[in-house]
Amino acid sequence: MTSLSQAHELAARRSALLLLLAYPLLAIAGAVTHRQIFALLALALLLTVLLLPRLAARRPLPWAVWLASLSGLLLLSLHGLAGLLLEAVPVLVNAVLACWFGRTLGTSEPLVARFIVAIEGAGRLQLPGVARYARQLTWFWTLLLAAQALLLLVLLLCADHSGLLARFGFAAPVRVPERWAAAWLRLGCYVLLGVAFLLEYGYRRWRLRHLDHPGLREMLLRLALHWPQLVRGNGAVAS
């Protein structure tokens, strides 16, 4: 029974990773077409990804929360607010991730060290240069995500016509051209993180070139399978 439940959990994690890859596509489609259905589907997909491991356990409470949340999203879409909520999601996601990375910097196990242990094993941290790089990279993602969250919040509030301040009749302290705000909120924020991830992956392979590295696909798959370790910690010590 235990092995069966573990198999269901692993399948749920794989499915969550595949679903998550579709989220930015739906978000961009909603921004380009200005159709609420894409914004609604993107939000529903994100909610499903977050709850999928619990839904796979077939417990009644997660299913009730999921259905109630979907009903709430549908109600918001009927009032034309799904697009606005979708635009606010990147602000929240970047802020939460920045806090997640940042709060581990005060511990002996920065978040990137947890990634390394989950993907490549605890012995990897003992290799020359790895633990130090893990802490430096945790700082990098903390600062990048925090700066992005702040920028997105300013754009969401201060865009010329679609900004929240303009919608509610307030003067914005900083006037941001509509097209630049929309481009970054709907596309640029996703592109930046993707480019940063790929550039860091290439830089890591060069800087730690004395070590073997898993391929990009294998790394993402291992990460999806072992993500609970990132929340709980691995007990690895990164000095």
Instruction: Specify whether 116 is located in the same domain as 2.
Output: no
Instruction: Specify whether 216 is located in the same domain as 125.
Output: yes
pLDDT of residue 98: 92
Give, in degrees to the nearest 5, the angle at Cα 229 between 5 and 112.
150
Averaged over 6-11, what is the pLDDT? 56
Express each pLDDT in 198-233 by its tens digit: 999 889 888 888 877 777 777 777 776 666 555 555
pTM summary value: 0.71
Instruction: Specify whether 76 is located in the same domain as 93.
Output: no
How many domains are there within the chain?
2
Express each pLDDT in 165-199 by its tens digit: 877 778 888 888 888 888 888 788 888 998 999 99
Instruction: Specify whether 135 is located in the same domain as 227.
Output: yes
Task: Collect all residues with Cβ–Cβ distance below 8 Å to 146 and sequence separation of at least 6.
Answer: 94, 95, 98, 102
Express each pLDDT in 31-88 by its tens digit: 677 676 777 777 788 778 777 767 777 788 888 888 888 888 777 777 666 667 777 7
Instruction: Specify whether 76 is located in the same domain as 92.
Output: no
Rounded distance between C-alpha atoms, residue 226 and residue 214, angstroms? 15
Instruction: Specify whether 72 is located in the same domain as 163.
Output: no
Instruction: Specify whether 76 is located in the same domain as 104.
Output: no
Instruction: Specify whether 238 is located in the same domain as 121.
Output: yes
Instruction: Specify whether 116 is located in the same domain as 225.
Output: yes
Q: Which residue has the higher pLDDT, 127 or 42?
A: 127
Instruction: Specify whether 134 is located in the same domain as 29.
Output: no
Q: Which residue has the higher pLDDT, 223 or 125?
A: 125
CB 208 within 8 A of CB 112: no
Task: Collect all residues with Cβ–Cβ distance below 8 Å to 205 and sequence separation of at least 6.
Answer: 213
Which pLDDT band, with edges at 50, 70 and 90, does 139 fall under? very high
pLDDT of residue 236: 47
Instruction: Specify whether 44 is located in the same domain as 138.
Output: no
Looking at this protein, which amino acid is placed at residue 165?
L
Which of 80, 111, 138 is at the close of a domain?
A: 80
Residues spanned by the domain of 177: 88-239
Which of 46, 64, 80 is at the close of a domain?
A: 80
pLDDT of residue 152: 93
